[in-house]
């Protein structure tokens, strides 16, 4: 299910501080009382990964897997177009006392300015309570592949059947989200040997896919080989809390540096560290994806700043003689005044 939400004019996820190349998500909650009654935990809401470019003005979009009644995804599937919902206006960076868990912003666990090389290991669980895991993994992979220090990105995508997978290639030219864009480039071989994609299906045998569930043996087979030193590996798993706990505990048992504290996982072998609670989000280094988008947006402005040719004294004199100023009549001046418009300012709710 693809959903697009309208944001106020001039507002983008980037302007609100979101960086989906760092795995940032938004939390969606029901707004009107009629919708709140349809959700079991209306105040908690549900976290979803944006899939449209964070630079896009006035809108944001998601790909969501609907589940049974009582959840936010079911509500979003059934409410009419034009309905209003609450969407967080900033990256979550707080300790929730009610859940006894910290929701702190991600920061890349790599030495900035260093020429050291890394290999990124991404594990996406397909059928999960937090939506389709690949919707977060694909933009992150797209981002990491833009960093020349990243030698390779390996993705293990765990689903029940192939039908949970093939939608990423279906009509990919028609969709402008980053998930379809990433898999369109993957299908075209744009990343070459730098990208390795492995599927594991739990309920179907299929040629070219692993069969079963994620286990220590599967993780060892897909990610741990002699070609990559373990200290250069950076892991990210996307799924339910139980799935993340299982994955990182298994990696710990395989000798990798992972640990859990205050409900959050950390360690030298994880792709992300967590920003300290008392540290401002403004100190975060942007992801490679966001850096690329900023450079792309800056390029047209640089082109407009054209170099001016040196004008000789003779040419300048000729220009002065031929320069004429048209006189604006009183009527024209009055018309111009009537066409001036004030720009309404947008005040974000607190």
Task: Profile the chain (350 residues) by mean pLDDT over runs of 10 residues.
Answer: 91 92 93 93 89 92 87 91 90 73 83 73 50 85 92 92 90 84 94 93 94 94 86 90 92 94 86 87 90 78 52 50 42 40 32
Note the pLDDT of residue 229: 85
| 3-class secondary-structure state, position 305 | coil
Q: Output 69-72 pairs: Cβ under 8 A, ≥24 positions apart.
A: 69/38, 70/38, 70/39, 70/40, 71/39, 71/40, 71/46, 72/28, 72/29, 72/30, 72/39, 72/45, 72/46
Note the pLDDT of residue 282: 85
Candidates 236, 48, 16; CA nearest to 140 is 236
Burial of 335 (0-12, 13-18, 19+ CB in 10 A): exposed
| 3-class secondary-structure state, position 250 | helix
Note the pLDDT of residue 187: 93
Residues in the chain: 350
Given the DSSP bridges, would you call strands 210-211 and 195-201 parallel, antiparallel or unpaired?
A: parallel
Output the CA angle 177-179-70, nearest 5 degrees: 90
Note the pLDDT of residue 304: 52
Note the pLDDT of residue 118: 79
Report how far residue 39's alpha carbon sits from residue 44's, in angstroms, rounded to the nearest whole number.
10
**Residue 68 in tokens:** 């049974």
- Taking CA atoms, 28 is separated from 19, 38, 43, 78, 295, in Å, by 17, 14, 10, 15, 30
Collect all residues with Cβ–Cβ distance below 8 Å to 256 and sequence separation of at least 6. 230, 233, 235, 267, 269
Note the pLDDT of residue 250: 95
**Residue 345 in tokens:** 């300012």
Note the pLDDT of residue 252: 96
Candidates 285, 287, 104, 118; CA nearest to 194 is 118
Note the pLDDT of residue 349: 34
Note the pLDDT of residue 241: 85
């Amino acid at each position: 299910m693809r959903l697009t939400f309208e944001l106020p004019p001039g507002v983008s996820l980037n302007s609100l501080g979101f960086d989906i190349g760092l795995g940032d998500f938004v939390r969606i909650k029901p707004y009107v009382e009629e919708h709140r009654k349809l959700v079991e935990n209306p105040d908690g809401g549900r976290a979803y990964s944006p899939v449209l470019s964070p630079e896009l003005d006035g809108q944001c979009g998601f790909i969501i897997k609907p589940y049974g009644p009582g959840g936010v995804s079911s509500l979003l599937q059934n409410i009419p177009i034009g309905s209003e919902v609450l969407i967080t206006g900033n990256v979550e960076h707080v300790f929730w006392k009610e859940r006894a868990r910290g929701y702190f912003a991600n920061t890349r666990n790599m030495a900035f300015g260093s020429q050291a090389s890394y290999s990124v290991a991404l594990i996406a669980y397909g059928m999960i309570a937090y939506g389709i895991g690949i919707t977060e993994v694909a933009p992150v992979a797209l981002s990491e592949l833009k960093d020349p220090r990243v030698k390779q990105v390996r993705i293990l995508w765990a689903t029940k059947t192939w039908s949970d997978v093939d939608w990423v290639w279906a009509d990919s030219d028609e969709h402008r989200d980053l998930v379809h864009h990433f898999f369109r480039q993957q299908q075209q071989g744009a990343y070459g040997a730098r990208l390795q994609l492995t599927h594991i299906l739990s309920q179907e045998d299929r040629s070219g896919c692993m069969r079963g569930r994620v286990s220590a043996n599967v993780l060892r087979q897909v990610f741990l080989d002699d070609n990559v030193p373990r200290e250069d590996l950076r892991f990210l798993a996307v799924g339910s809390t139980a799935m993340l706990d299982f994955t990182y505990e298994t990696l710990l048992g395989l000798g990798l540096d992972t640990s859990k504290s205050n409900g959050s996982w950390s360690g030298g072998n994880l792709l992300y560290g967590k920003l300290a609670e008392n540290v401002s989000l403004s100190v975060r280094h942007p992801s490679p994806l966001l850096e690329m988008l900023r450079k792309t947006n800056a390029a047209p402005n640089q082109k407009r700043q054209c170099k001016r040719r040196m004008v000789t004294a003779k040419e300048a004199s000729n220009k002065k003689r031929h320069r004429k100023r048209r006189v604006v009549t009183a009527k024209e001046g009055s018309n111009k005044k009537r066409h001036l418009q004030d720009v309404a300012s947008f005040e974000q709710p607190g």
